[in-house]
Chains A and B, each alone.
Chain A
Amino acid sequence: MKRQWLRRSVLLLLALLLALPLYAALIAASHAPGDLLGRLPWLPGNRLLHNLHTVLDAGLPGSPSVLRMLGNSLVMALGIALGKLTLATLSAYAVVYFRFPLRRTAFVLILSSLMLPLEVRFYPTFQVSAGLHLLNSYGVLIVPLIASATATFLLRQFFASMPPSLLDAARMDGAGPLQFFLHSALPLARTPLAALFVLEFVYGWNQYLWPLLTTTDARYATVVMGMQGLINAGTSFALPRWDLVMTTALLALLPPLLVLLLAQRWFIRGLTDIEK
């Protein structure tokens, strides 16, 4: 009994610690800028809706509306997540079920690219993108990021763990490679796919450096990278607009949170029982 209380209070303390910055953002987002001068009130104010209205509609002076940035982020995150899943599913399927020369080598190459941090290949990728005149487009936000060694690896493990007799049965039933993929492999992989979708969506949403490097046109600004511009813009006024910056921050937090909450059940199942 006593131990349980101890455990709970530790958990509570950690939860509070985690929630504190969120609470601060909420307070800042719900006050007038004047209330935030040199101090942070303890309780939320009543300007949250007003501030939301302002950022979503107009944004800060000198930057696009936050609604536009949210839309850009959504396009990028969905594009990256779906692109990664498509590419990874197909390559994992190929590596597991097709016998072709250098099959192992191909898989080892994919796997070894896991070791390279994304930033290492920014320069060459930038060169290629610039050469293809892709800069300042949705294409450049999405396409260079849709290769995923992690997803390929996870799905390969999943496909390899499926009983081989399933493929035998499908062959006896007269299913070709494409039919086996669409009718059996893909539906069976829906749990790991859902888990990966959540991971990759959050990954895509949080991209900062790449959009910053490749899009100079404000029309393609994403919310995570735009935040930095907002802070610059927001603090350059005589009266710093921390209220609006924090409102934007809260908005930027919502979509990944929603995706995670909606897919939580699938997410946990997909990561824990890859078997099945």
Chain B
Amino acid sequence: MATLELHEVCKRFGATMVLTPTSLQVADGEFVVLVGPSGCGKSTLLRMIAGLESPSGGEIRIGGRCVNAQEPSARDIAMVFQNYALYPHMSVFDNLSYALKLRKLEKAEIARRVDWAAELLGLQPLLARKPAELSGGQRQRVAMGRAIVREPQLFLFDEPLSNLDARLRNHMRVEIKQLHRRLGTTTVYVTHDQVEAMTLAQRMVVMNHGRIEQVGTPEEVYAQPASTFVAGFLGAPPMNLLAARVSAEGTHVLVEDLAPLPLSAPQPALAGRAVTLGLRPEALLPDVDGCWTVTLNLIESLGGEMLLHAGVGKQACVLRIATTTSPWREGDTLRVNVASTALHLFDADSGQRLPS
């Protein structure tokens, strides 16, 4: 078990900057998720931690030791790959024990560790099989087993669930979380899936265009997104982003064709400024005395809740209502209320969060 520190780590491929200098501290035993759209540099960062790519600058420390010059196998880490990367010609037992054999561990010790991992992951009946004879979920488990038999200081997961179907993905997600609880090993997990990120992370790192947008607990990141990118990336459906303007007195926010919404506290510094107004779909509540009138364009039922796609003025937004039957029909107009504490303001140009 160990801490992981990244200090101004960056990566260039030729002239393109894939990862701008990035610093991050991961505490001992922490589960950190790197999340972002494809091409945001999260996988590159993980591969540099693993030692499969070398950084163009900066320092990577594992357990306080700089590992920049070390081979992957010398870093005392283990990695689970997206396509599992099991050795197709080896049995499950051989897959699990390969790294231990290369380290010249004693036979008895190898057997003990493989047994332990197989027991933990329910792989015992499969030890003699080849990867081709396993289902997707079983392969995933073998890949995790291969990582844990090494009893590493640090686990790296590279989109481990994206090759599984939705049901299995939910199941394995829970298993990974339980595994982390039992082993308590420091973990860095890369995914593009915001649900995985929200549910697994103790702390999440949202990345975009080769840099970190925000670091925080899932609750913090959800409640206080640092930019319109984070706001639009997390949550399903994501936060509604409307073009708006702060009133000349700095007390209200104005969306075209709609009634002004009061800010929870006056913001004189923002007076008259063009902003992006962020509203979570659950922040718009139907209310006969509501201040806004919206037009329903489309209703989607998810069983326990409904998504209402509505027109607000000239713009569009989505409402999430916890109800099983809809009293409204498409084409109806509806009055909604917006709590002033639910407003998020972002700079219209840079997308950075503003006080509201």
Chain A residues with a Cβ under 8 A of chain B: 163, 165-166, 168-175, 179, 183-184, 187-188, 276
Contact = CB atoms under 8 A, between A and B. Distances in A.
B85 A188 contact: no
A172 B87 contact: no
Given A187-B89, A188-B89, A172 B72 contact: yes
B248 to A, nearest CB: 58
Contact of A174 (B50, B73, B87, B146): B73
B99 A166 contact: no
B290 interface: no
B81 A165 contact: yes
B195 interface: no
A174 B52 contact: no
A174 B99 contact: yes
Contact of B82 (A165, A166, A183): A165
Contact of A171 (B52, B78, B86, B103): B52
Interface of B: 47, 50-52, 71-74, 77-79, 81-83, 85-89, 98-99, 102-103, 146
Contacts of B146: 169, 173
A193 to B, nearest CB: 13
Main secondary structure of the interface of A (DSSP, over half): helix
Contacts of A168: 47, 50, 52, 72, 79, 81, 85
Nearest to A188: B89
B79 to A, nearest CB: 5
Contacts of A166: 85, 87
Given A165-B85, A166-B87, A172 B103 contact: no
A23 B340 CA distance: 98
A172 B78 contact: yes
A188 B132 CA distance: 13
B102 A174 contact: yes
Given A172-B72, A172-B78, A163 B102 contact: no
Contacts of A184: 87, 89
A169 B73 contact: no
Contact of A172 (B79, B83, B86): B79
Contacts of A165: 81-83, 85
B50 A173 contact: no
Q: Which of A168, A170, A171, A184 has the most CB of B within 10 A?
A: A168
A163 B83 contact: yes
Nearest to B147: A172
Contacts of A173: 73, 98-99, 102, 146
A163 B82 CA distance: 11
A119 to B, nearest CB: 40
A185 to B, nearest CB: 10
B337 to A, nearest CB: 52
A171 B73 CA distance: 6
Q: Which of A166, A179, A276 has the most CB of B within 10 A?
A: A166
Given A165-B81, A179-B102, A172 B50 contact: yes
Contacts of B71: 171, 174
A30 B102 CA distance: 61
B89 A174 contact: no
Given A163-B85, A183-B98, A276-B88, 7 more contacts: A165-B83, A168-B72, A169-B79, A169-B87, A172-B72, A175-B73, A175-B102
Nearest to B99: A173
6 contacts: A170-B87, A171-B52, A171-B73, A172-B99, A183-B98, A184-B89
